[in-house]
């Protein structure tokens, strides 16, 4: 399956960067665009350029919920709005899930892994009811399906052994060095351990540049 192209729509640059870092950490996903308004989101998603949009609710020129039915792609609503009416409206519009800010970084990673499994299950031109039920369950319960296999590989086991107690916090490059694998390989296994619920990923912001991903036991 081709990489899943993700559009991030949030006018808070720091939050958008956090979401982008989580998306980038997961195998099979890439950030196609990162924008801060409804108008920019419509432009970025034009001509089928996006598979999944992560939509904030409150944007400078409108509501992200209104974009759900406009963009022509799948959507997650990820916003601070916690009103039941807004959530029901997002669901009626076609949002696949609704995450209320603030939420744990791991929760978004789990939902994305579930979405990848959902897409795989529905990739065939004709599916039976069992596959439909499993696909809907993957979204509802954020199950990553076969993506979790890497969480029990020998490399993943060695990585997990580095986290001897909850106070151990490591960056991906430190994990790569200690286990003796390339940094991209370490990041891939760390992402799978995160979606499997074994590790927790948070972002550490420095003075400049992209935030760094740090990992600890879940």
12-58 residue pLDDT tens: 988 898 899 889 888 789 999 999 999 999 999 998 999 999 999 99
- pLDDT over 90 at 103, yes or no: no
Highest mean pLDDT among 117-121, 139-143, 212-216 belongs to 117-121
Q: What pLDDT, on the 0 to 100 scale, is given for residue 54?
A: 98
- pLDDT over 60 at 151, yes or no: no
Domains of the chain, earliest start first? 4-103 (3.40.50.2300), 105-218 (1.10.10.10)
- pLDDT over 60 at 1, yes or no: no
- Rounded Cα distance, 29 and 107, in Å: 16
Highest mean pLDDT among 25-39, 151-165, 183-197 belongs to 25-39
The pLDDT tens digits for 59-88 are 999 999 999 999 999 999 999 899 999 999
- pLDDT over 50 at 149, yes or no: no
Q: Please, where are the H alpha helices in the chain?
A: 13-25, 38-44, 64-67, 84-93, 105-121, 129-140, 154-161, 172-179, 183-195
- pLDDT over 50 at 147, yes or no: no
- Is-contact 69 76, C-beta < 8 A? no
Q: What pLDDT, on the 0 to 100 scale, is given for residue 146?
A: 44
- pLDDT over 80 at 211, yes or no: no
Q: What is the mean pLDDT of residues 168-184?
A: 89
Q: Which of 89-98, 124-133, 199-208 has the lowest mean pLDDT?
A: 199-208
- Rounded Cα distance, 56 and 36, in Å: 9
Q: What is the mean pLDDT of residues 137-159?
A: 68
Q: What pLDDT, on the 0 to 100 scale, is given for residue 93?
A: 95
- pLDDT over 80 at 104, yes or no: no
Q: What whole-number percentage of the chain has pLDDT above 90?
A: 46
């Amino acid at each position: 399956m081709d990489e899943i192209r993700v559009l991030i729509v949030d006018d808070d640059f720091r939050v958008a960067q956090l979401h982008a870092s989580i998306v980038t950490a997961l195998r099979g996903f890439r950030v196609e665009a990162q924008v801060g308004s409804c108008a920019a989101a419509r432009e970025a998603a034009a001509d089928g350029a996006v598979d999944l949009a992560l939509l904030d609710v409150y944007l400078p020129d409108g509501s992200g919920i209104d974009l759900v039915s406009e963009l022509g792609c799948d959507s997650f609503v990820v916003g601070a709005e916690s009103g039941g009416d807004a959530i029901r409206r997002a669901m009626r519009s076609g949002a696949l899930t609704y995450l209320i800010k603030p939420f744990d970084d791991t929760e978004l990673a789990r939902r994305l892994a579930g979405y990848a499994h959902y897409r795989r299950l529905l990739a065939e031109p004709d599916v039976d009811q069992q596959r439909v039920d499993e696909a809907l369950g993957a979204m509802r319960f954020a199950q990553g399906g076969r993506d979790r296999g890497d969480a029990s590989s020998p490399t993943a086991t060695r990585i997990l052994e580095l986290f001897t107690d909850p106070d151990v916090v490591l960056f991906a490059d430190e994990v790569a060095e200690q286990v003796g694998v390339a940094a991209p390989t370490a990041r891939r296994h760390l992402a799978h351990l995160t979606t499997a619920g074994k590790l927790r990923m948070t972002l550490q912001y420095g003075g400049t540049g992209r935030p760094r991903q740090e990992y600890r036991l879940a």
